[in-house]
Structure 1
Amino acid sequence: MVDSTRQESVRGRLIRGGTSRGLYVTPDELPPAGERRDAALIELFGTPDPLQIDGIGGGNSHTSKVMIVEAADRPTADVAYTFGQVGVDRATVDWSGNCGNLTSGVGVFALRSGMIEPTEPETTVTLYNANTDTHVDQTIPVVDGQPAVRGDYRVDGIPGTGARIDSYFREPEGSLTGALFPTGNRRETVTVDGDDYPVSLIDVANLNVFLRAGDLGLDGTELPGDLDDPALLERLELIRGAACERLGLVEDRRDAADERAAVPQVALVSEPQSFARSGDGRVDADDIDVTSRIVTTQTPHHSYAMTGAMCLAAACRLDGTIPTEFVRDGDASDVRIGHPKGTITVGVETATEKGEPAVERVRVGRTARPIAEGRFHYRPPA
């Protein structure tokens, strides 16, 4: 008989990293990797439920995330972490990608947990991401031995300002597929219900599907509420699923939402445009290099997924891709992306190796802040 009063718990911290929020825990707080761990996280976050009312999830993809962090057991890194995207409407946990926003909180968690020794005025730590087998060099401002939470750096999509955390993602190409251009092509065509869509499939920091906003009858400046249309999201998911088929990630495109819920991401791209931001204010076309909207786990993102921004910025510097049709001319390393909440700037360092392009490093600035710590309770699977 199942004990109707029993609950289990994990000790961890809720941290807002960039424009995402997630649970940060050490691996010993969770069941071993596999079905039991997934079941525990699904219960813990209150999935499946669009509100996640019976768990710690926030009812959307950017607040239904987990980071499992520990001291690294390799000489190349100080801290190792594994990212999990917990489903909202579906009882899934996708371990195939990374989260650039929550990566900004990994060093903060490691410092507050005593995994690394703090140095002032800033601590530099090397992170190893187990999902993508890549390294991240991160610099965290430190005051009185603790990560700073106040500063003058602004991240569009987050109220106020905070202490800037810089993350440098080394050799980010091929994170899932092992190749910058997984099919060998810089652009190709996928067909959905008889309609052809030119796309670029690019793997930098996370695998992304880029397509023209105009090919879906959009102007590219739509806000999340405008994109939250069932017919449009179904069409985008079928395009994403068709890309998964092309890449051999699923056998049937209609299974992608369950089998590959988080990766690849799908992004709509258009030229630099002026538009009204979500909330208030405007983005001026002269202040950005490209306009984009991204959909993650079948949900329009309220701002922009960080790994998606890194991939888009790199794609803007790779000739022959869909994004290069729209990006403002220029050879500056920084690419300024216009998204629903404002702008985000990503630094890109590229090179040519044996006649082929290579992405050596991408840089992003974010802020992070611990919100809560303690025990989070869930009912163990029967």
Structure 2
Amino acid sequence: MTEAIHTFDDNEQVSVRCVLMRGGTSKALFFQEADIPPPGPARDRFLKRAMGTPDVLQIDGMGGSRLVTSKIAIIKKSGRSDADVDYTFAQADVERDRIGYDANCGNISSAVAPFAVDEGLVAAIEPLTTVRIHNTNTGTLLVSKVQVKNGKARVLGDCAIAGVPGTGAEILMDYTDTLGAKTGKLLPTGQPVDTITLEDGHRIEVSIVDAATPCVFIAANSLGLTGSELPSEISADRALIETIGEIQSKAGARIGLYKHWKDMHLPGLPLAVMVAPPADYADTNRKTVKAADCDLRARLVFLGKCHDSMAGTGSMCAAAASRVPGTLVNTAVGERAGTDTLRIGHPLGVMTVKVVARAGDTPGSTRFDALGLQRTARRLMDGMVYVPREAD
């Protein structure tokens, strides 16, 4: 442990300063990197103990028993000339003894700039501070614009996002520099549609796209779904989850994320996104989402569970895929792909993302003048998290 970590209770526990923040529709513990162990087993043990992983309730830690509330952000000033801060995202598994660093979280990314401003890691410039964020998980650069007042990130505002009660100060996130985030290519296989053959012989068409994070897109009806199912229904269908996991694993191996598909069971990457054309559906709060209010229905699965809403990076990848000719997302969106936004109908409502594309000579050479979204974020608590000394 570093000098910034303090002892407590006759050296039986260590305490580390952290901040609990909501970013978009997720929550995370935010740490300054100097306050926690360096990358490696000691860091992983500390983070798992802080979150209460593995335990489905995470009762002995700060996690909230769901993947969207079991996230971690590690921040420091950047040494890069093109970035202000370095940001490492970590996903604490709930059921498995695992901390994952293989992807970024778009929702938590939206809280990085407010954290950096409030912690004094970047200069607060009123009324709008631009923060260049180097995401170490993907090696990409995100640009965040956060409203500032009296030297702190603003909280109050009129920006509403589906899945978060009330409104808040708008945060603009720019993902145009994230094409090929993990593989170096928008279409890692070079094709807008590939076929995955399952072990039972079934052949499933997919689109593998890498923008913000790699995703494997699957037409909902090819899995026997309508596209309107809710997370509890999807996660409870273990046969479906295993099938989706097999598709993810085989797609991930195909694009070089790991050596063999059997090496990964119910992986985090690529994110699996089931897509369907617009239709009326009831969201988690039993409110009706009208077909006219969305351009696409999407349900996202990672680590063997269906996301409660829609991952920020997954939404960016879906938006990019919607403008790539021939992808399953492009087909599902249809003529609505001619606008400069994509409205994604997810389990908690509709999120709107900005997407302006320029056609290339091939689908894989599609480029983007705009790829981003609006989020809100808020500091919920700051203080010390206590971890038993055995985790030191």
Q: Which residue of 2 aligns with 1:349?
A: 356
2 CA distance for matches of 1:354 and 1:269?
A: 26
Q: Quick check: 1:171–1:360 contact (8 Å CA) kept in 2?
A: no
Q: Quick check: 2:23–2:375 contact (8 Å CA) kept in 1?
A: yes
2 CA distance for matches of 1:248 and 1:169?
A: 23
Structure 2 letter corresponding to 1:357:
T
Q: Quick check: 1:187–1:322 contact (8 Å CA) kept in 2?
A: yes
Aligned mate of 1:92, from 94, 98, 103:
98
Q: Quick check: 2:93–2:99 contact (8 Å CA) kept in 1?
A: yes
Q: Quick check: 1:288–1:338 contact (8 Å CA) kept in 2?
A: yes
| Unmatched segments (≥5 aa) in structure 2 | 1-8
Q: Which residue of 2 aligns with 1:237?
A: 245
Which aligned pairs between 1:240-279 and structure 2 lie closer than 5 A? Answer: 240-257=248-265, 261-279=267-285
2 CA distance for matches of 1:226 and 1:12?
A: 35
Q: Which residue of 2 aligns with 1:203?
A: 210
2 CA distance for matches of 1:143 and 1:282?
A: 37
SS at match of 1:157: coil
Q: Quick check: 1:173–1:204 contact (8 Å CA) kept in 2?
A: yes
1 CA distance for matches of 2:178 and 2:46?
A: 30
User: Over residues 214-273 of structure 1, what are the superposed CA-to-partner deviations in whole Å (9 max), with x where a residue is unaligned?
Assistant: 011110001111112212111111111111222233344343137xx3221101000011
SS at match of 1:326: helix
Q: Which residue of 2 aligns with 1:358?
A: 367
Q: Which residue of 1 aligns with 2:4?
A: none
Q: Which residue of 2 aligns with 1:158?
A: 164
Q: Quick check: 2:102–2:137 contact (8 Å CA) kept in 1?
A: yes
Q: Quick check: 1:350–1:358 contact (8 Å CA) kept in 2?
A: yes
Q: Which residue of 2 aligns with 1:381?
A: 391
| Unmatched segments (≥5 aa) in structure 1 | none
Q: Which residue of 1 aligns with 2:116?
A: 110
SS at match of 1:41: helix
TM-score by length of 2: 0.92
Structure 1 letter corresponding to 2:232:
G
Q: Which residue of 2 aligns with 1:293?
A: 299
1:214 aligns with 2:221: yes
Q: Quick check: 1:168–1:363 contact (8 Å CA) kept in 2?
A: yes
Q: Which residue of 1 aligns with 2:5?
A: none
Q: Which residue of 1 aligns with 2:231?
A: 224
2 CA distance for matches of 1:188 and 1:325?
A: 14
1:369 aligns with 2:389: no
User: Over residues 192-235 of structure 1, what are the superposed CA-to-partner deviations in whole Å (9 max), with x where a residue is unaligned?
Assistant: 12111100111000000100100111100011111122121111
SS at match of 2:351: strand
2 CA distance for matches of 1:53 and 1:162?
A: 30
2 CA distance for matches of 1:353 and 1:283?
A: 34
Aligned mate of 1:70, from 73, 76, 90:
76
Q: Which residue of 1 aligns with 2:339?
A: 332
Which aligned pairs between 1:298-337 and structure 2 lie closer than 5 A? Answer: 298-330=304-336, 331-337=338-344
1 CA distance for matches of 2:322 and 2:52?
A: 38
Residue 165 of structure 1, CA deviation: 0.5
Residue 4 of structure 1, CA deviation: 10
Q: Quick check: 1:60–1:299 contact (8 Å CA) kept in 2?
A: no
Residue 176 of structure 1, CA deviation: 0.8
Q: Quick check: 1:16–1:102 contact (8 Å CA) kept in 2?
A: yes
SS at match of 1:185: coil
Q: Which residue of 2 aligns with 1:120?
A: 126
> Relative to 1, partners in 2 of residues 1:113 and 1:200: Cα closer, same or farther, differing over 3 Å?
same
2 CA distance for matches of 1:70 and 1:251?
A: 32
Structure 2 letter corresponding to 1:218:
L
1 CA distance for matches of 2:300 and 2:52?
A: 25
Residue 121 of structure 1, CA deviation: 2.0
1 CA distance for matches of 2:239 and 2:360?
A: 43
User: Over residues 281-333 of structure 1, what are the superposed CA-to-partner deviations in whole Å (9 max), with x where a residue is unaligned?
Assistant: 21110111111111122111111111001100110100011111210414112
2 CA distance for matches of 1:359 and 1:225?
A: 35
TM-score by length of 1: 0.95
SS at match of 1:155: coil
Structure 2 letter corresponding to 1:358:
R
SS at match of 1:120: coil
Residue 164 of structure 1, CA deviation: 0.8
Residue 351 of structure 1, CA deviation: 2.7
Structure 2 letter corresponding to 1:362:
L
Structure 2 letter corresponding to 1:342:
G
Residue 179 of structure 1, CA deviation: 1.0
Q: Quick check: 1:97–1:175 contact (8 Å CA) kept in 2?
A: no
Q: How many pairs align? A: 378
SS at match of 2:264: helix
2 CA distance for matches of 1:352 and 1:332?
A: 14
SS at match of 1:335: strand
Residue 29 of structure 1, CA deviation: 1.2
2 CA distance for matches of 1:349 and 1:29?
A: 40
Structure 1 letter corresponding to 2:310:
Y
> Relative to 1, partners in 2 of residues 1:318 and 1:353: Cα closer, same or farther, differing over 3 Å?
closer
1 CA distance for matches of 2:64 and 2:262?
A: 26
Moved more, 285-294 or 130-139: 130-139
